[in-house]
Structure 1
Amino acid sequence: MNKGPLSGVTILDCTIWQNGPFATVMLSDLGADVIKVEDRATGDPGRGFMDASGPAGVSGYFEAMNRNKRSITLDLKSPEGRAVFHRLAAGVDVVVQNFRLGVAEKLGIAYADLKEGNPRLIYASATGFGPKGPDARVGVFDILGQARSGVLHALREPGAPAEYNNAFGLADQTGGILLAQAVTAALFARERTGEGQEVEVSQLGAMLTLQQMGLTRHLITGYEPAMSRRDAPRNPVFNLYACANDEWIAVGGLQGDRYWPDFCAILGLEALGRDPDYATMQQRTAATRELVRQLDEAFVRFTRTDLLARFTEAGIPCSPVNSYADVVSDPQVVANGYIEELDHPHLGRIREIGMPIRFSATPGGARSSAPELGQDTEMILLEAGYEWDEISALRDKGVL
């Protein structure tokens, strides 16, 4: 039974790809009933994206962004399709869309078109570069959100070309997280005022927020980010090192002076830890390259498991540098239930990333795998008050 904190909230989800769908999948994990409105011919393009050639043609990309949801196909370009959408929107709590600026207005499903029929409606929009300015109508994907916000520059190694890692879609995911937060805040406000409203989050704005510390420093002091080089960190006890068998470890001794003697002793470098030439952070920073060279030679003499145990016992913050294969079997991931199991119609039992938020009284989480295209169309329309003959007529006209 769905007992999440948003149980009873119904959302019409008109989003595609990743930014918008991630917001609505988060809301679905919180218990909301998310109705995914898809083009009757093509559906969400994410259905065929990336690894759709995997087992049974299932796209892990689409699954991650659309679990728990129900799918209805609808031709929003037809008058009949718009009429169906308006009827559905009149009975839901939230509409979420990530069309390019102006498309929702052209289709007749913008907030201004819907709010009269549902004054309590929360209308949420995911945009690229924001709703104002010369590039407001530009389509945006993750790489552009990272680039324009300064993230790709900030993560560039000194002297190296900018590179993009698309393993998880940082700008898409961050924008989705903030959009989900905006929706829940708007729902809370509605509980107090009884009124709906329009909310908007852009990828650009979300990525600026993600960098709030660095950008605020820049605004106040002119600070420019510089990615720390592993072979020349400011603090050798706050760095990455390779252990035996090329297994990497991260050490997070931010208070370097506190940890330096024990850190060196564990590595068999007691003399280095007592050397007055390296007693302070300032001294170690000045000699960082030479110190890292000596530390590198020491680390490879130990296994990662051994050093993790020793550092932990000494109270030195540390972590393995996990691969994805390591992550899914990490004892902390397993113990906290961060990975859940679901039944999939083609793959059987599958594992997915669960909801990381814990509620003692209203637990949420993954409930079902992503829907087939249009699999819930009839049920959704019946719930909205349509009769079977009306549904059949809409199908005959190519609306559904």
Structure 2
Amino acid sequence: MERKLPLEGIKVVELGTHVAVPNATRFMADWGAEVIKVEGVRGEEWRVIGNSYYTPVADDENPIFTVQNANKEFIAIDLKNPDGMEIMKKLIREADIFISNVRLNSLKKMKLDYEAVKPLNPQIIYCHFTGFGYEGPDRNRPGFDMAAYWARSGAMSDWVSKGDYPIKPPGGFGDATVSANICSGILAALYARTQSGKGTFLTSSLYSSAIWYNSTGIVSTQEKYGNVYPKDKNQPVNPFSHIYKCKDEEYVIITVLDYNNSWEKMVTMLGFSEYLNDERFNTILAVRENMDEFIKIINHAFLKKDREEWCQLFDQADIVYEKLAHMSEVTKDPQAWENNFLTEVTFPNNNTAILPTVPIQFSEYEVTKYIPSGKVGRDSLEILQKLGYSEAEFAELVEKKAIK
């Protein structure tokens, strides 16, 4: 049978909350896997995160929650209820992949840790995601991306200009980057299983991923190298690879890596060619000794034109640059639309929102329709029927509050 999507036939059971784990399984859902999201009967906390970002959190319109949870099936189970736990075990027995970010102590109490799950399904690929890893003094600490990813890795303090307030990204940014690690590890294990027939346990964490992604800073700030952050915005290592304010108070970044070979072109374009042969500035070593003076000259030059005027000049000169866009501009960007990086999604109440698409495109497979998330336990009946439960048994489980 010809596959319409690359992961058709793969079943994933997600016991995940917030962003990293649900985002990883969202990839797999879009690629054709059957992803069953298991929530408690109240639903997971990320369902109401929209309250902090001025977006709806209703069952029939929940755009932020939908980004991580579109195209999944939803079942709500009380895992403290014996009947609910039996349902969970049946789901695991049929699964190819089980993934969770529930803390290890809780998984062990429920007998859903890897050692307990493996006898149920020896071929299962079991992924457990943590804040800080399996060892060390902080192994049992909870860790959201703001704490374990941004704060612990030094990014919050050191990515700002010297003296500025620490950055605070929108929630889930670090989680979303980590989800790619989780997904790639799972797919590697899935491929290995086709060769060996063996399931496996794998793990990743917010903190380990933040260290990996922030490697340039973490390596270079070791004492033996001596790089120091945060940086003084008026003391760039290379003033032709820096951020500048324009006349309209918008910002632009230029990224010219070879200062010496670009000197003539840059000073001519920026409009201060009288400094062309000035030995204080015309080499990278010289300008670093005279940066206070040169940064004033270049800052003054940028304040003579609006951002769009500078962008036109950079385009004409084939300079690598980008305007510092505002997040509100992205949904109006034709580049994003023409490449299908965004799509308009219609919710069950007929309201629409512009949402990001999974950032991978295949030439030989279809694009999955964007099906919004729904209410807690939306697909419980259908999922249980696939497991062999009758409608009468379903009603009894609802009455016992084992499921919702």
Partner residue, 1:129: 132
Aligned residues of 1:70 and 1:371 also touching (Cα < 8 A): no
Partner residue, 1:39: 40
Partner residue, 2:196: 193
Q: Which moved more, 1:270-279 or 1:244-253?
A: 270-279
Sort the Cα spacing of 1:337 and 1:289 in 2 relative to 1 into closer, same or farther, 3 A.
farther
User: Which amino acid in structure 1 is aligned with residue 313 of structure 2?
Assistant: R
Deviation at 1:2, TM superposition (A): 8.8
Does 2:110 align with 1:97?
no
Detail structure 1 runs of 4+ shifted over 6 Å in the superposition: none
Partner Cα distance (1:2, 1:37) in 2: 27
Partner residue, 2:161: 157
Partner Cα distance (2:366, 2:283) in 1: 48
Sort the Cα spacing of 1:224 and 1:264 in 2 relative to 1 into closer, same or farther, 3 A.
closer
Q: Which moved more, 1:367-376 or 1:212-221?
A: 212-221
Aligned residues of 2:242 and 2:254 also touching (Cα < 8 A): yes
Q: Secondary structure at the match of 2:276?
A: helix
Pairwise mapping of residues 321-340 of structure 1 onto structure 2 (< 5 A)? 321-340=324-343
User: Which amino acid in structure 1 is aligned with residue 179 of structure 2?
Assistant: G
Sort the Cα spacing of 1:195 and 1:211 in 2 relative to 1 into closer, same or farther, 3 A.
same
Does 2:88 align with 1:85?
yes
Q: Which moved more, 1:48-57 or 1:16-25?
A: 48-57
Partner residue, 1:173: 176
Aligned residues of 1:11 and 1:35 also touching (Cα < 8 A): yes
Deviation at 1:122, TM superposition (A): 0.8
Pairwise mapping of residues 164-313 of structure 1 onto structure 2 (< 5 A)? 164-218=167-221, 221-313=224-316
Q: Secondary structure at the match of 2:201?
A: strand
Aligned residues of 1:122 and 1:198 also touching (Cα < 8 A): yes
Deviation at 1:124, TM superposition (A): 0.7
Partner Cα distance (1:159, 1:54) in 2: 33
Q: Which moved more, 1:330-339 or 1:232-241?
A: 330-339
Partner Cα distance (1:253, 1:88) in 2: 54
Sort the Cα spacing of 1:258 and 1:370 in 2 relative to 1 into closer, same or farther, 3 A.
farther
Partner Cα distance (2:186, 2:137) in 1: 27
Partner residue, 1:8: 9
1:125-177 Cα distance to aligned partner (Å, 9 max, x none):
1101101122211111122212222323432433455x241314343223222
User: Which amino acid in structure 1 is aligned with residue 6 of structure 2?
Assistant: P
Deviation at 1:252, TM superposition (A): 0.6
Partner Cα distance (1:365, 1:294) in 2: 52
Aligned residues of 2:15 and 2:101 also touching (Cα < 8 A): yes
Does 2:51 align with 1:51?
yes
Unaligned runs of 5+ in 2: none
Sort the Cα spacing of 1:347 and 1:192 in 2 relative to 1 into closer, same or farther, 3 A.
same
Partner residue, 1:24: 25
User: Which amino acid in structure 2 is aligned with residue 120 of structure 1?
Assistant: Q
Deviation at 1:212, TM superposition (A): 2.3
Q: Secondary structure at the match of 1:341?
A: strand
Sort the Cα spacing of 1:334 and 1:75 in 2 relative to 1 into closer, same or farther, 3 A.
same
Aligned residues of 2:127 and 2:202 also touching (Cα < 8 A): yes
User: Which amino acid in structure 1 is aligned with residue 322 of structure 2?
Assistant: S
Deviation at 1:26, TM superposition (A): 2.5
1:209-261 Cα distance to aligned partner (Å, 9 max, x none):
11223333456934444233332212111111122311211101111122222
What is the number of residues matched between the two proteins?
398
Partner residue, 1:66: 69
Aligned residues with identical type, % of pairs: 26
Does 2:346 align with 1:315?
no
1:328-381 Cα distance to aligned partner (Å, 9 max, x none):
222322221111222211253322111221211124456211222111111111
The CA RMSD over aligned residues, in Å, is 2.2
Partner Cα distance (1:366, 1:257) in 2: 51
Q: Secondary structure at the match of 2:362?
A: coil
Q: Secondary structure at the match of 1:257?
A: helix
Aligned residues of 2:162 and 2:233 also touching (Cα < 8 A): no
Partner Cα distance (1:247, 1:219) in 2: 35
For normalisation by structure 1, the TM-score amounts to 0.92
Aligned residues of 1:67 and 1:368 also touching (Cα < 8 A): yes
Q: Secondary structure at the match of 1:23?
A: helix
Partner Cα distance (2:147, 2:185) in 1: 22
Q: Which moved more, 1:257-266 or 1:244-253?
A: 257-266
Partner Cα distance (2:285, 2:229) in 1: 18
Unaligned runs of 5+ in 1: none
Aligned residues of 1:14 and 1:98 also touching (Cα < 8 A): yes
Partner Cα distance (1:159, 1:321) in 2: 21
Q: Which moved more, 1:241-250 or 1:89-98?
A: 241-250
User: Which amino acid in structure 1 is aligned with residue 67 of structure 2?
Assistant: A
Q: Secondary structure at the match of 1:251?
A: strand
User: Which amino acid in structure 1 is aligned with residue 48 of structure 2?
Assistant: G
Q: Secondary structure at the match of 1:200?
A: strand
